[in-house]
Amino acid sequence: MKTALVLNGPNLNLLGTREPAIYGAQTLADVRALCESACAAHGLALDFRQSNHEGELIDWIHEAGRAQAAGTLAGVVLNAGAYTHTSVALHDAIKGAGVTLIELHISNVHAREAFRHHSYISPAARAVMAGFGVQGYALAIAGLAGLAGS
Ligand code: CA2
């Protein structure tokens, strides 16, 4: 059984505590449970992580590249949070790792402030999903399973 790695970036540990009009009322623990169900439905194991540190996210993407090359990983779903709009380093990490990665956003970033309209992740991602709320995580896992043929 292959694994889906779901990575969450800065401040996503605050989900469900503030800004419910934008991000909904569900916590990151709820999102993990939703991802567990989605992975189970698609015959995937789940590895679910969150970090507020750019370098840690980069290390995890490198690890994912090695795991995918070894045949144990289906790919990555990445909500890079605000690093989406700032991080050339994450862009380079995704390219360098050669990993199949789906960029995910809970909110429709294109309907928000102009500074959220540009993503450094998108050119390195296999697919992009935004605006489905936390349900987008399940949709992205289904998409990853389809790409991986599981
Ligand atoms: O819509 C998304 O998923 C975002 O990636 C979320 C990021 C934001 O910077 C991106 O532009 C879009 C923010 C994550 C922080 O989430 C919070 C949740 C509750 C309270 C405060 C922050």
3 state DSSP class of 10: coil
* Residues having CB within 6 Å of any atom of ligand 1: 11-12, 14-15, 17-19, 23, 79, 81-82, 84, 105-107, 109, 116
Stretch 1-20: mean pLDDT = 96
**Each residue's pLDDT tens digit, 116-146:** 999 999 999 999 999 999 999 999 999 999 9
Segment 49-58 mean pLDDT: 98
Compute the distance from residue 97 Cα to the ligand 1 centre, in Å: 25
Q: What average pLDDT does the structure give for the chain?
A: 97
pLDDT, residue 6, reads 99
| Amino acid in the structure at residue 26 | Q
Q: What is the model's pLDDT at position 53? A: 98
* Of 6, 78, 84, 110, best ligand 1 pocket probe by most atoms within 8 Å of the beta carbon: 84
| Structure confidence at residue 18 (pLDDT) | 87
* Fold of domain 3-148: Rossmann fold (3.40.50)
pLDDT for 149 equals 86
Question: Is the per-residue pLDDT at 5 higher than 80?
Answer: yes
* Residue 23 falls in the annotated catalytic set: yes
pLDDT tens string 69-110: 999 999 999 999 999 999 999 999 999 999 999 999 999 999
115 C-beta neighbours (distance < 10 Å), count: 10
130 CA closest ligand 1 atom index: 1
Domain ranges of the chain: 3-148
DSSP calls for 65-100: HHHHHTT-EEEEEEE-GGGGGT-HHHHHHHHHHT--
Q: 84 or 20: whose pLDDT is higher? A: 84
Q: H or E segment at 129?
A: strand 127-130
Instruction: Tell me: pLDDT of 150 over 80.
Output: no
Predicted TM-score (pTM) above 0.85: yes
pLDDT (0 to 100) of residue 136: 98
Whether 83 is a known active-site residue: answer no
